[in-house]
């Protein structure tokens, strides 16, 4: 959304508003999760816990029974291209290792709240081996689902089910 205000040199803000849906991993988590007022509250609260500094305007928005996540968009956001044609496998592995460290830091930073694992529990868990095969299985399942979703979307698009407004 483009909102008139004091943001850019033109005096505008560019905001992103997305519907908040349940976690795609919910089916894989057998333990009881906290009761959140809405999916948007869950997403925003957890994002604030994990990130050292969250983006501008990060807020849950609830309209009726549907909730949304509002956030400010930056003129440029950091992106990483993982194109094997442009980067070597070693470069991609370095990027993935760095991303893993960033995610781990966020998990440690946010641990121990509302029944979640503490930093010590997370470290002990990571040193074990039982979780690795389960993670690989879940990743393969998720990858297959993404492929199915993509083909379904591509077919719907080819069939003209999406309209573009101008």
Give me the residues paired with residue 76 across strands. none
Q: Read off the pLDDT band of 162 (50, 70, 90).
A: confident
pLDDT of residue 36 exceeding 80, the answer is yes
- When pLDDT is averaged across residues 152-165 and rounded to a whole number, the result is 87
> d(Cα 84, Cα 49) in Å, to the nearest integer?
33
Other Cβ atoms less than 10 A from the Cβ of 42: the count is 20
pTM listed for this prediction = 0.68
Calculate helix-pair angle for 89-110, 39-50, nearest 10 degrees. 100
pLDDT at 75: 66
Q: Read off the pLDDT band of 77 (50, 70, 90).
A: low
pLDDT of residue 11 exceeding 90, the answer is no
Please check whether residue 28 is in contact with residue 138, taking contact to mean a CB–CB distance below 8 angstroms: yes
């Amino acid at each position: 959304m483009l909102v008139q205000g004091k943001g850019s040199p033109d005096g505008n803000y560019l905001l992103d508003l997305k519907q908040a849906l349940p976690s795609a991993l919910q089916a894989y988590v057998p333990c009881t999760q906290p009761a959140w007022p809405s999916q948007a509250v869950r997403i925003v609260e957890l994002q604030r816990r994990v990130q050292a500094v969250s983006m501008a305007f990060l807020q849950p928005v609830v309209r009726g029974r549907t909730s949304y996540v509002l956030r400010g968009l930056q003129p440029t956001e950091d992106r990483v291209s993982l194109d094997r044609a442009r980067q070597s496998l070693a470069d991609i592995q370095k990027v993935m290792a760095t991303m893993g460290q960033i995610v781990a830091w966020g998990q440690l930073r946010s641990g121990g709240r509302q029944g979640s694992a503490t930093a010590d529990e997370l470290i002990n868990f990571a040193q074990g081996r039982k979780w690795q095969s389960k993670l690989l299985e879940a990743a393969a399942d998720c990858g297959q689902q993404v492929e199915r979703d993509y083909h379904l979307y591509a077919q719907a698009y080819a069939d003209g089910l999406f309209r573009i407004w101008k």
